[in-house]
Amino acid sequence: MEIEKEIEEIRKKFSTEFVKFYLAEIEKTKRRNIYEKLCEFAGKYLKIKSKKIEEKISKDIIFSDLNVLPYEVISLTLLTLFISFFISLISFLLLPDIGFLFFLLPFVLSYLVFTYPSFLSKVNKIQMNGESVKAICYMVLYLENNPVFEGAIYYAAEKLKGILGKDFKKLIWDVQTGRFKDFSSALKFYIPKWIEWNENFVRALLLLSSINYIRREEERKNLLSRTLNFILEKN
């Protein structure tokens, strides 16, 4: 029952305020790839905003692991539309026989630009569903010999290579650099994001986090066995 209440509270936290806070953190980060840099450029010079559209794509951006802001994606989409339309017009004037085919190009390119975060979000969700099982297995393996939850996070972060592993490494870095005072505070920040991906993973994680308060070895083994069986059955 305690976990059910905690899950409910976590779901409430994934609200507009959490999304705003997470996007504010993205704004501080360095742009890494060409898409992010183009979004930054378009957002800087066009800065086209639409509250309704921004709300629609905000969660996709968070789960896509892209360092972009919603208004930047909108701005780049329109910039792509304008530039590609201009190129299509020139192509039509130079090659009137086949130039009309280029008029499809602006809509195709702008659609790809706009839906790219959504596409990555879905890919990452599929990846995390598989990686979440590995994460719990690594943590259980560590906790069998070292019943320290924080150590299990370090161990899983070292072993995991995908999107969840990146989150684990970022969580550790946030604690080490003082952004969060301890692992409990850091988890409170990341768990609302993870629960939208895989609620069963969060349930298993919450079960494991209680191991620090269990003193009897038999109870610890039961907890680890129960958690491992749960994540394997659910996934």
pLDDT in tens, 52-70: 898 889 889 988 889 999 9
Closest by CA position to 75, among listed 123, 37, 29? 37
Q: Is the pLDDT of residue 1 over 60?
A: no
Is residue 219 a contact partner of residue 210, using CB atoms and an 8 Å limit?
A: no
pTM higher than 0.85, yes or no? no
**Amino acid at site 183:** F
Closest by CA position to 61, among listed 17, 23, 11, 14? 23
Per the model's pLDDT, the better-predicted residue between 232 and 116 turns out to be: 116
Tell me how far apart the alpha carbons of residues 45 and 144 are, in angstroms, rounded to a whole number.
Answer: 55
Distance of CA 146 to the CA centre of its chain: 29
Tell me how far apart the alpha carbons of residues 199 and 182 are, in angstroms, rounded to a whole number.
Answer: 23
pLDDT in tens, 82-100: 998 888 887 777 776 666 6
